[in-house]
Amino acid sequence: MAQRDGITQPWGTRTPYGPGEPWPVRVDSHLAEGVRPEDVDRWVRSAAVLHSNGDGLDIAVADGRIVGVRGRADDRVNHGRLDPKDLFGWQANASPDRLTTPLVRRDGELVEASWDEAMALVVERSKALLDEQGPSALGFYTSGQLFAEEYYTLAAIARGGLGTNHLDGNTRLCTATAAAALKETFGCDGQPASYTDVDHADVIALFGHNAAETQSVLWTRVLDRLAGPNPPSLLCVDPRETPVARAATLHLAPLPGTNLALMNGLLHELIAHDRVDHDYVERHTVGYADLEKMVADYPPERVAAICGLSAAEIREAAELLGSAERLLCTVLQGFYQSHQAAAASVQVNNLVLLRGMLGKPGAGVLQMNGQPTAENTRECGADGDLTGLRNWANDAHVAELAKLWNVEQSQIPHYGPPTHLMQMLRYAENGTLRFLWVSATNPAVSLPELRRVRSILAQERLFLVVQDAFRTETAELADVVLPAAIWGEKTGTFTNADRTVHLSEKAVEPPGQARPDLDILLDYARRMNFRGRDGEPFPQWHDAESAFEAWKRASAGRPCDYSGLSYAKLRETSGVQWPCPEDRPDGTERLYTDGKFFAQPDYCESYGRDLVTGAPMEPDEYRAMNPDGKAMLKAAEYVEPHEPPGEDHPFALITGRTIHHFHTRTKTARAPQLQAAAPESWVEVSDTDAKRLDLHEGDWAEISTPRGRVHARVRVGGIREGVLFLPFHYGYFDTDRDDDRAANELTPTDWDPVSKQPLFKTAAAAIRRAEPAHREVPSADRTDNGVEEELR
Ligand SMILES: Nc1nc2c(c(=O)[nH]1)N[C@H]1C(S)=C(S)[C@@H](COP(=O)(O)OP(=O)(O)OC[C@H]3O[C@@H](n4cnc5c(=O)[nH]c(N)nc54)[C@H](O)[C@@H]3O)O[C@H]1N2
Ligand SMILES: Nc1nc2c(c(=O)[nH]1)N[C@H]1C(S)=C(S)[C@@H](COP(=O)(O)OP(=O)(O)OC[C@H]3O[C@@H](n4cnc5c(=O)[nH]c(N)nc54)[C@H](O)[C@@H]3O)O[C@H]1N2
Ligand SMILES: [Mo]
């Protein structure tokens, strides 16, 4: 068992292996200082929650407290390994500033209240609004970080109980584009490939995916392949020189927002050099002629000019992709949060289809997830999706769900498309949405154009409920704050980016009166007196395991079939991939191995959209285009980004992550090692730009866009000329500043027309040297003690 320094050696030591060999086991662990392995009373089964990788781990418990974690050697995802956030993030559970009682707003102040008082307020307001205006007055904004049981329950309550279609998850900011790209190509969500494909691939291409920092254990798997015999070649597409770029055989650094042009150029080259598996394309796809015609207009020279690359680089990349025998592609936020997000991501699907690289070891596409449980938000229908990856536009699917829930079909709103989050904000802004219940997300830091977000959430006429473990920037704006139990304090299941389901068991009691989200939701349902058609209390389940059993029934026969799983099975097997029907209890490693898709018109999750405008296709159109449910090659034309750099704002601003922090840092800033490793925000500037602007490493700079300005310390290098990068992790909770640090002060209110995912990686910005004026600035080399001081 290795107790490595997870901060200075984030990926640990190499355990090299060759193609087709099993990835060796390496068990990582971290115990609190002074705790020895023999002091641990119990090891409790769980998995990692600070990314989407799904690393299997056990929680160490001593004297009723969490005292550490240990990777599980037999887990199919991590073979024992843990990343820095896995190793240290658990300390946040015991943070002294956890929320321990409900809070309600009285005379402008949040004050402590009992559960009865707080829930009574929530229920009174819900009932009053239902009477006054009907269900469209109420909305829910949830997460990619709860458990499947909780999402399924929330979907049932919002749609089957209240009957509102204002329900979305922060998955809208995260993997809405992954889901959209899969629906457009395969007719349905569902990750085609498996992490085990890393073991077999000879070329791995990462599109806008900094896996080294964001899925560090998966990256360890890649590093171990690179260190072994016959290593794969790597292609990295990212405007920054990330650790992935540094390890890559070939690094393309396109201008932000030009992904679609680049993809069209790569497909152009594959077709021009006949790197197409015509037999596969003929048998399993529709749409080839249109795609061929579209990409004919994207020769390397034209694409090079759009993307700020050389034609030779594009040809070289196409050659690498075209000559691969086992090609694995991954896609993440560099595509999903950038201009023409879904259209560009779909072209990666097209790439693997053209090359016939699907459903066999080492070949396929991973349209990645980001959050630990984002897959569950989508499949349970706690976002804009219909429970069980069903199709909103197919009445038979809605009827199926009504039957499962034993409610009238008319109760489930399906008269129009479900409301996506950015639209809900608009409704709140203009006053038609008057109740918003936010669970496990921190929109006052994570949404674009924060000044606007704050003004919407702070409105008197909006009743804001915030359910969190900490008093976040969003909680500060709430009318009622509900204290939640978190990972390690409650039981439930969740599913990672390659469809692996884990059970996470309760290890310790939550602090004070904090309660599991599931209990809070069911309590609300009972107080609202929701009933099924036979008068029975709705939802018909009452705890985690009965919710899981109900969810299994809702998933049966759908692509995300859980019916062969049980808590008992998940206590035995460390990670099972869905679909997992009763006759295949060990799950399914890869989808589409038989060249059959979930795309049949009566079965598919979506009839698709126009990739440029986002206009939905009619059911009849879909049926005519794809009667046999094949994979769909969909083409799209590149159009210019909405906010290109110009005279006043000459830079392209992108935002993203660093290895040590998770999102708005509610957990990682409370883990001393992680906070000390990255205590303060920074801005990446290229060498050339830094010289020209007389900016030096460590200088303070002001970065501004038409929405606002922030200050950050300069880091010189690691990014292409003309581009700036800011991490989005830094809100205000551990500073005395109120509005000049968070990257989202700068980002625009704009979203992808297909997936409705906000574009966090497209903005025009300016930068200049400038000290932040009005406060003390923490230095970059704070010690652990300094960090703890700050949090108190
Ligand atoms: N350490 C850490 N790990 C995490 C998280 C975390 O907060 N911290 N969050 C988790 C979650 S929810 C998510 S969604 C994932 C996200 O994981 P990633 O998508 O890997 O992370 P990002 O840093 O958001 O973006 C990836 C890269 O996109 C590049 N990029 C920006 N604009 C463009 C563009 O126009 N084109 C291209 N090709 N690339 C571009 C950026 O330079 C950046 O390196 O990480 C998960 N894992
Ligand atoms: N500029 C910019 N903005 C971005 C991004 C970007 O790349 N750039 N990325 C976007 C992406 S991909 C994502 S996923 C979002 C993430 O944005 P958020 O979802 O706002 O980020 P988190 O900090 O993870 O917030 C989760 C909250 O849930 C709480 N929590 C944790 N566990 C539980 C639980 O079990 N129950 C309850 N009730 N609460 C819990 C945490 O304390 C925390 O406050 O940010 C998006 N915003
Ligand atoms: Mo995300």
Ligand 2 nearest-atom number relative to CA 371 = 14
Q: How many angstroms separate the CA atoms of 532 and 127, rounded? A: 18
Q: What is the pLDDT of residues 631-660, one digit of tens each?
A: 999 999 999 999 999 999 999 999 999 999
Q: Answer yes or no: is the C-beta of 338 below 6 A from any ligand 1 atom.
A: yes
Strand ranges, E, within 462-551: 463-468, 480-483, 492-495, 500-504
For residues 130 and 162, the answer to whether their CB atoms sit within 8 Å is yes
Closest residue CA from atom 12 of ligand 2 = 174
Q: Is the pLDDT of residue 154 over 60?
A: yes
Strand ranges, E, within 311-369: 327-331, 364-367
Helix or strand (DSSP H, E) at 265: helix 259-272
Closest residue CA from atom 26 of ligand 2 = 441
Q: What is the mean pLDDT of residues 569-574?
A: 97
Q: What is the mean pLDDT of the chain?
A: 95
Q: Could you tell which of 210, 348, 657 is best to mutate to test the pocket of ligand 1, judged by most ligand atoms within 8 Å of the CB?
A: 657
Q: Is the pLDDT of residue 785 over 80?
A: no
**Ligand 2: centre distance to CA 176 (Å):** 15
Q: What is the pLDDT of residues 612-622, one digit of tens each?
A: 999 999 999 99
pLDDT band at 448 (very low <50, low <70, confident <90, very high): very high
State the pLDDT at residue 739. Answer: 55
Q: What is the mean pLDDT of residues 719-725?
A: 98
Q: Could you tell which of 214, 659, 681 is best to mutate to test the pocket of ligand 1, judged by most ligand atoms within 8 Å of the CB?
A: 214
Q: Answer yes or no: is the C-beta of 657 below 6 A from any ligand 1 atom.
A: yes
Which range, of 162-176, 410-424, 677-691, averages the lowest pLDDT? 410-424
- Start-end of H helices in 64-157: 84-88, 115-132, 148-155
Q: Is the pLDDT of residue 792 over 70?
A: no
CB proximity list for 784: less than 8 A, separation 6 or greater: 672, 673, 676
Q: What is the pLDDT of residues 519-545, one digit of tens each?
A: 999 999 999 999 999 999 999 999 999
Q: What is the mean pLDDT of residues 558-573?
A: 98
Q: Answer yes or no: is the C-beta of 446 below 6 A from any ligand 2 atom.
A: yes
Closest residue CA from atom 44 of ligand 1 = 210
Closest residue CA from atom 13 of ligand 1 = 370
CB proximity list for 155: less than 8 A, separation 6 or greater: 167, 380, 381, 382, 387
Give burial (CB, 10 Å; 0-12/13-18/19+) of 615: exposed
Q: Which ligand is nearest to the CA of 372?
A: 1
pLDDT band at 170 (very low <50, low <70, confident <90, very high): very high
pLDDT band at 556 (very low <50, low <70, confident <90, very high): very high
Q: Which residues of 185-209 are buried (b: 16+ CB within 10 A; e: fewer)?
A: bbbbbbbbbbbbbbbbbbbbbbbbb
In 3D, which of 10, 15, 79 has the Cα closest to residue 227? 15
Q: Answer yes or no: is the C-beta of 333 below 6 A from any ligand 2 atom.
A: yes
- For the packed helices 176-186 and 341-354, what is the interaxial angle rounded to 10 degrees? 40
**Ligand 3: centre distance to CA 370 (Å):** 4
State the pLDDT at residue 738. Answer: 55
Q: Answer yes or no: is the C-beta of 172 below 6 A from any ligand 1 atom.
A: no
pLDDT band at 100 (very low <50, low <70, confident <90, very high): very high
Q: What is the mean pLDDT of residues 136-157?
A: 98
Q: What is the mean pLDDT of residues 417-445?
A: 97
Q: Answer yes or no: is the C-beta of 742 below 6 A from any ligand 1 atom.
A: no
The upper half-sphere exposure of residue 738, i.e. CA atoms within 13 Å in the direction of its Cβ, equals: 3
Give burial (CB, 10 Å; 0-12/13-18/19+) of 776: exposed
Q: Answer yes or no: is the C-beta of 763 below 6 A from any ligand 1 atom.
A: no
SS3 for 152-201, per residue? HHHHHHHHHHHCCCCEEEHHHHCCHHHHHHHHHHHCCCCCCCCHHHHHCC
Q: Answer yes or no: is the C-beta of 177 below 6 A from any ligand 2 atom.
A: no
Per cent of the chain over pLDDT 70 is 96
For residues 170 and 197, the answer to whether their CB atoms sit within 8 Å is no
State the pLDDT at residue 787. Answer: 28
Q: What is the pLDDT of residues 472-521, one digit of tens each?
A: 999 999 999 999 999 999 999 999 999 999 999 999 999 999 999 999 99
- Start-end of H helices in 587-628: 619-625
Q: Answer yes or no: is the C-beta of 659 below 6 A from any ligand 1 atom.
A: yes
Domains of the chain: 2-94 (no CATH), 103-174+373-561 (3.40.50.740), 176-368+596-630 (3.40.228.10), 651-769 (2.40.40.20)
pTM for this prediction: 0.97
pLDDT band at 191 (very low <50, low <70, confident <90, very high): very high
For residues 46 and 506, the answer to whether their CB atoms sit within 8 Å is no
State the pLDDT at residue 414. Answer: 86
State the pLDDT at residue 779. Answer: 44
Which range, of 114-128, 686-700, 728-742, 752-766, averages the lowest pLDDT? 728-742
Q: Is the pLDDT of residue 161 over 60?
A: yes
**Ligand 1: centre distance to CA 657 (Å):** 6
With tokens 């009477």, the residue in question is 131
Q: Answer yes or no: is the C-beta of 80 below 6 A from any ligand 1 atom.
A: no
Q: What is the pLDDT of residues 194-230, one digit of tens each?
A: 999 999 999 999 999 999 999 999 999 999 999 999 9
**Ligand 3: centre distance to CA 748 (Å):** 18
**Ligand 3: centre distance to CA 768 (Å):** 30
pLDDT band at 772 (very low <50, low <70, confident <90, very high): confident
State the pLDDT at residue 304. Answer: 98
Q: Answer yes or no: is the C-beta of 474 below 6 A from any ligand 2 atom.
A: no
The upper half-sphere exposure of residue 601, i.e. CA atoms within 13 Å in the direction of its Cβ, equals: 12
State the pLDDT at residue 732. Answer: 84
pLDDT band at 775 (very low <50, low <70, confident <90, very high): low
**Ligand 1: centre distance to CA 366 (Å):** 14
